Copies of this chain bind each other. A is one copy, B any other.
Amino acid sequence: MIYFDNAATSYPKPEALYQEIGNRMKTYGANPGRSGHEFGLETNRAIYETREALNQIFHGENPLHFVFTANATDSINLVILGLLKKGDHVIATETEHNSVLRPLELAKSRGVSVSLVTVDDHGWVNPKEIEEEICARTKLVVCTHASNVTGAIQPIERIAEITKEKGVYFLVDAAQSAGVLPIDLSKTKIDFLAITGHKSLYGPQGIGSLYIRDPMSLPVVKTGGTGSRSSDLKQPDAMPDRFESGTVNTPGILGLQMGLDFVRSRGREKLFAQEFALTQVLMKELNKIPGIQLYGPPIGDPRVPVVSFNLGDLDSAEMSFLLDDQFDIITRGGLHCAPLIHRRLGTMEQGAVRVSLGAFSTMQEIESFLEAIRAIQKMR
C-alpha cells in the first residue's frame, strides 16, 4: 500500500509509538492531577514534559499555556465560541476548513457578524484585505496557516502584525502546518494557536492542543472537575485547569510526546525539505501528463506537502477509487471539508484528488503513483 493521505492523518506513525504506547500506558497509568500519590505524580510529570516539548517547538511563553484538547477542531471551538459574543465581528478567509467555518456559522446564529476575505487563484490570502475589513467591532481574525486543499501557506507573520497593531485577537489553525512549517510564538503575536497531534506531529488521533497567550482573555465554554480547588463550584483560573475539565487523554499525550520526539530528532526543517522536494517532483511530472490540472501555488513556490489535481473531467472520487482499487494507492477525492476554496477553484462538482505526503513518503512511491496516473490517463 502507498499511503498518500497524510493531510487526513499521518501514516505510519513512528514505529516507536506502536511499540511503546502500551508500555507507557502501563507505566503512567494513574489519573494525573487528581491525587497526591507517587504513581499519579509520575503521570503528571510525563504530561508536563509533553507541554514542555510543545512549548519548545513553538517557542511559547509558558508550557502551561498549552492546554490539551481532542483535536484542532476542539481547540478552535473553544476560541470562537468562548470569545465571540453577540455584536462582535470576526474575520476569516475562504480557504478555511469546516473546523473554522462551521463554528463561525454557529456564532453567526448567536448574533456575531462574520466576514470572509477571498483568496487569489493560487489560494493565497492578501493580508491587506484582512486589514481593510477590521472595524471597531472586530474582535478576532482567524486564518488557517496552510490549506488542506491547495497546500498554500498564508502570511501569518504579516497578519499577526496587523492584528497586533489593531488590537484584535488572532487565531491560527495550524492543523496542516504544526510540525512542518516554522511557528514562533515568541516572534509572531498569535493569541491562539490551534494544533492537532495526529498529522505532522506524528502523534495518535484524538489529541490536540490550544496555545493561549493570555488565559484570562478567553471565557470558558466547558467546565468540570479539574482535581484542583475541589470545593469551588467555579472553574479554577489556574492554567491548564481552566481549560482542561475531566480526565485528560493520558495515552494520547504520551503518544504525542513520542511524535514530538520524532519530529525533534529528525528535524522539522529537514522533514519539510524532504517532503517539499518530493512534492516538487510530483507536481512537475504530473504537469507533463495531458489533461492534468494542478491547483494551488505554482511549481517552485512554498507549500505544505499537499497537492490537489484533476484529470480532465474525471470525477475526483472515481479517480481516488481507481487508485485505491487498481493500484493500492491511498489518496482522497471529493470535497475536503473546505467548501469555499472548492468554489474558488471551480471544483465544487468535480472535487479534487488530493495527494498528501509525510515523513515516510519515498521517491519510489512518487514514481509508482505517477505510473498509475499515466496508466489511467491512457485508459481514458
Give complex CA distance A226, B348 in Å: 17
> Do the beta carbons of B249 and A249 come within 8 Å of each other?
yes
Contact with B along A320-359 (1 / 0, CB 8 A): 1100110000111111111100100000100000000000
A154 within 8 A of B: no
- Interface-facing stretch out of A8-16, A179-187, A276-284, A370-378: A8-16
Residues in B with CB closer than 8 Å to A21 are 21-22, 25, 251
Give complex CA distance A255, B101 in Å: 32
Give residues 103-146 of A contacting B (CB, 8 Å).
103, 105-106
A205 within 8 A of B: yes
> Do the beta carbons of B251 and A204 come within 8 Å of each other?
yes
Give complex CA distance A339, B234 in Å: 11
Give complex CA distance A255, B252 in Å: 12
Give complex CA distance A71, B244 in Å: 11
Residues in B with CB closer than 8 Å to A39 are 1, 3, 324, 330
Give complex CA distance A325, B5 in Å: 50
15 contacts between A and B (CB under 8 A): A9-B29, A11-B29, A12-B29, A21-B22, A70-B246, A97-B225, A98-B233, A103-B223, A105-B223, A205-B250, A206-B247, A206-B249, A226-B337, A227-B337, A252-B252
Give residues 1-53 of A contacting B (CB, 8 Å).
1, 3, 5, 8-9, 11-13, 17-23, 25-26, 29-31, 34-40
> Do the beta carbons of A248 and B320 come within 8 Å of each other?
no
Residues in B with CB closer than 8 Å to A38 are 324-325
Give complex CA distance A220, B249 in Å: 23
| Residue in contact with A22 in the complex, picked from B19, B247, B338, B348, CB distance below 8 Å | B19
| Residue in contact with A221 in the complex, picked from B37, B72, B221, B348, CB distance below 8 Å | B221
Residues in B with CB closer than 8 Å to A324 are 36-39
A235 within 8 A of B: yes
| Residue in contact with A224 in the complex, picked from B98, B223, B348, CB distance below 8 Å | B98
A18 touching B23 in the complex, CB below 8 Å, given contacts A5-B31, A246-B73: yes
Give residues 205-227 of A contacting B (CB, 8 Å).
205-208, 220-227
Give residues 286-338 of A contacting B (CB, 8 Å).
317, 320-321, 324-325, 330-338
Give complex CA distance A222, B98 in Å: 12
Query: Which of chain B's residues has its CB closest to A35's CB?
Result: B332
| Residue in contact with A17 in the complex, picked from B22, B252, B321, B333, CB distance below 8 Å | B22
A231 within 8 A of B: yes
| Residue in contact with A74 in the complex, picked from B98, B246, B255, CB distance below 8 Å | B246
A56 within 8 A of B: no
> Do the beta carbons of B230 and A336 come within 8 Å of each other?
yes
Residues in B with CB closer than 8 Å to A321 are 36-37
| Residue in contact with A25 in the complex, picked from B74, B105, B204, B233, CB distance below 8 Å | B204
A36 touching B98 in the complex, CB below 8 Å, given contacts A31-B5, A342-B231: no
Residues in B with CB closer than 8 Å to A13 are 25-26, 29
A274 within 8 A of B: no
Residues in B with CB closer than 8 Å to A76 are 224
A198 touching B37 in the complex, CB below 8 Å, given contacts A17-B22, A30-B330: no
A102 within 8 A of B: yes
A245 touching B99 in the complex, CB below 8 Å, given contacts A11-B30, A230-B336: yes
